[in-house]
Amino acid sequence: MKIRKITFLIAVIGLCFNLFAQQVAMTDSQIKPDDKLASPGKKTTTKNTPPLIVKDSETVYVSEGNKTYVNKNLPIYLKFSTTPNGETHDLKSLSHPEDTEPLYLDTEGANYIRTKWAVDPETKEYAYPLREIQMELYADSKPPVVRPVFNSSALYKKNDVTYYGNDLSIEFVEWDEQSGVKSSFWSLNNKDWSTGGVDFKNESTDEYSFAYYSVDNVNNYTDTKTVSFVYDKTAPKTTLNKTTNGNYVFGPKTSLQFEVIEEHSGLKSTYFKLADNAYIKVRSDQTMPSSMQDGEYELSYYSVDNVINGEDLRIEKVYLDKIAPQSTLNATSSFMDGKRLYVSPSSKISLSATDNKAGVDEIMYSTRGVSNETYDESFSIQNYHGMTFVSFTATDMVGNVEIKNQQEIFVDSLRPSTQIEFVGDYFEVANRYYINESTQLKLTSSDQNSGVAYTEYSAIGSDFKKYDDTFKLSNEGYNGIMYRSVDNVDNVEYSKSIDLYLDKKGPEIVFNFSNQPIGEEDGIKIYPVGTRLFLGATDDQSGTNSIAYQVNNQKEVYYSSPKTIDISEKKAFKRGKVFEVKITTTDLVKNATSETIKFKIED
């Protein structure tokens, strides 16, 4: 009995285990996971795993440490031989044959086939010290643990979609508790399965489904899982928008607006700089740096998407316009006196502006009855007389606003007034004025506000001409004169007129003797004693003013009545004497006529 027990133990130690699979072997290229893929941005696990791979000894794996692993789910048939290559015999349980035909391992990990004591192969005696024989067989029923690692410097998630940048690669982190990982498999967008890492450098920007699974060394498979993501290696495309005037002229308050085309992960940021300054991240209300001076610059800019794809640098020539427009006020029929501008109600006030670069956008103004109106055409200040103002300011196309101007304005609605004066002799009767050819006409004018610009006059029916200085008339007889003044804002006086009569000649002398001559001596007529001399004068224009006479160079006597010249009654004319009488007469404008007569008185 003792000898049989030892023999049995020796025979058991020499057992050679051959484990056979019950399934048909398949090649790696035939491994196909479930075709169902997850929606973008989500990871799914399929319930149906790929078919199990069975090859010769594929479900039995001997590690480098000589540990033998077998798939725990497979049946085991025990056989032994008494020689290394001899005939094998089934090893069965007589008491419970159903437990060993076939045998299933009960414990994950190490399982033991034992004999009680080790026997020395030489002496066939117990080996001392006594030790139990344990032959390990490792059972492995659990699939590996596998996790894909997405190596990328940038990851972005939005609306359950995951985006990776252009340096994306995928590798696996694998672990198996027992037999170890044999291999991990992956497929992109349902294409052929591959092993190893994934490098996306040669892939295009697109949406991808990444399916993967792993198998250990005894053909335990993981479930096939699918991860959806977007591989984005396309940089944004940025354009600097032109300003409202259609060019690249910006003001200090003009918003820098960039149009960015980014179709995948989305825009992260846009950056810009002027000249050699540092780059600035563009804000929603971004304007030019306040420290920059007016002038032309190179503006460099680029955009970066949410997975740090940066586009190539772009450069535009831009002009930073920090100079506000300059506006001016002009008016027709106006007059400037110091800082005060005089206008009339009919004057047209116009506003204009110039700008150094961007161009004028609008001019705003305020005045009587108008507040902050956009200027579009000239205007007048009507139905008003007195002091007022016009304030105005211009804005250019990039928002530079001029400091408000204010012009003091006096609205002059009154007409000037002109008077005519006579320098010299004149005579007026019934609104008719008589003058002689030496009489000068003088025009004087006045204006209460803007002042007189000029005075003009004309003969009735003729064109007006400007008055410079006193003037005389040359046409004898009736002369109708019109005159008026114009002030400095073109208020025109209503024309005035005057009826003038130019009297160039003195009166005509008329004299008569009371008797006819009785003879003549040396060309001198002789009148009888008692002859009386009568004097008179007529004038066609202004009328006779005076008649005077002088006898033989004696004192001149003015004629006042016929008696004063009744020389015979005064015994003025003596017989036998020659008399010389000088007669002088004047009209009402002091034109004078003189005439001398000689005669002799005899008995």
Using one digit for the tens of pLDDT, what is the confidence trace for 152-181? Answer: 999 999 999 999 998 999 999 999 999 999
Q: Are strands 405-411 and 340-343 parallel, antiparallel or unpaired?
A: parallel
Reduced to 3 states (helix: H, G, I; strand: E, B; else coil), residue 567 is coil
pLDDT of residue 572: 57
Residue 561 has pLDDT above 70, yes or no: no
Q: What is the mean pLDDT of residues 557-578?
A: 62
For residue 127, which phi and psi values (nearest 5 degrees)?
-80, 135
Is pLDDT at 4 greater than 50 in this prediction? no
* Rounded-to-integer distance, Cα 256 and Cα 303, Å: 14
Those residues whose C-beta lies under 8 Å from the C-beta of residue 523, and which sit 6 or more positions away, are none
Q: Is the pLDDT of residue 35 over 80?
A: no
Instruction: Identify whether the C-beta of residue 233 lies closer than 8 Å to the C-beta of residue 84.
Output: no
Would strands 496-502 and 432-435 be described as parallel, antiparallel, or unpaired? parallel
Q: How far apart are CA 483 and CA 494, in angstroms?
A: 9
> Is the predicted pLDDT of residue 11 greater than 50, yes or no?
no
* Alpha carbons 465 and 497: distance in angstroms, whole number: 15
What's the CA gap between 592 and 6, in Å, rounded? 192
Residue-wise pLDDT tens digits, 355-413: 999 999 999 999 999 999 999 999 999 999 999 999 999 999 999 999 999 999 999 99
Contacts of 510-515 with CB under 8 Å at 24 or more apart are 510/535, 510/536, 510/537, 510/538, 511/535, 511/536, 511/583, 511/595, 511/597, 512/536, 513/599, 514/568
* Residue at token pair 């160079």: 553
Whether the per-residue pLDDT at 24 is higher than 50: the answer is no
- SS3 label, residue 500: strand
Mean pLDDT score, 300-326: 96
Which residues make beta-bridge pairs with 387?
A: 410
How many whole angstroms separate alpha carbon 119 and alpha carbon 517? Answer: 216
In 3-state terms, what secondary structure has residue 56?
coil
**The pLDDT of residue 215 is above 70:** yes
- In the predicted model, what is the mean pLDDT of the chain? 86
Mean pLDDT of 187-195: 92
Percent of the chain at pLDDT > 70 equals 88
| Model confidence at 13: pLDDT above 60 | no
**Closest Cα to residue 321, out of 284, 303, 342, 294?**
294
Q: How far apart are CA 296 and CA 314, in angstroms?
A: 17
Residue bearing tokens 């005060």: 340
Mean pLDDT of 200-208: 91
- Give me the helices (H) in 310-436, please: none
**What is the pLDDT at residue 571?**
53
- Give yes or no for a contact between 445 and 454, defined as CB atoms under 8 angstroms apart: no
Note the pLDDT tens digit of each residue in 248-281.
999 998 899 999 999 999 999 999 999 989 999 9
Query: Which 8-state DSSP code applies to residue 142?
Result: S
pTM, two decimals, is 0.61
Confidence of residue 19 (pLDDT cuts 50, 70, 90): very low
What is the pLDDT at residue 473?
94
Mean pLDDT to the nearest integer, 51-60 = 54
Q: What are phi and psi of 29, to 5 degrees?
A: -70, -10
Average pLDDT over every residue of 514-528: 90
**Where would I find the H helices in 391-492?**
none
With bands split at pLDDT 50, 70 and 90, how would you rate the model's confidence at 346?
very high
Sign of CA dihedral 84, 88, 89, 93: positive
Q: Could you tell me which of 105, 30, 25 has the C-alpha nearest to residue 57?
A: 25
**For 283-306, how does the pLDDT look when each residue is reduced to its tens digit (9 = 90+)?**
988 999 988 999 999 999 999 999
DSSP assignment letter at 330:
E
Q: Which two tokens stand for residue 65?
A: 């440490």
511-532 per-residue burial string, b: 16 or more CB within 10 A, e: under 16? beeeeeeeeeeeeeeebbeebb
pLDDT in tens, 399-449: 999 999 999 999 999 999 999 999 999 999 888 999 999 999 999 999 999
Residue 246: predicted pLDDT: 84
pLDDT greater than 60 at residue 498: yes
How far is Cα 221 from Cα 77, in angstroms, rounded to an integer? 24
Q: Is-contact 11 78, C-beta < 8 A?
A: no
Look up tokens 């794996």; give the residue: 61
Give the pLDDT confidence score for residue 244 in this predicted structure: 75
Pick the range with the lowest mean pLDDT from 18-32, 178-192, 462-476, 492-506: 18-32
Mean pLDDT of 487-491: 96
Residue 239 near residue 250, CB atoms below 8 Å: no
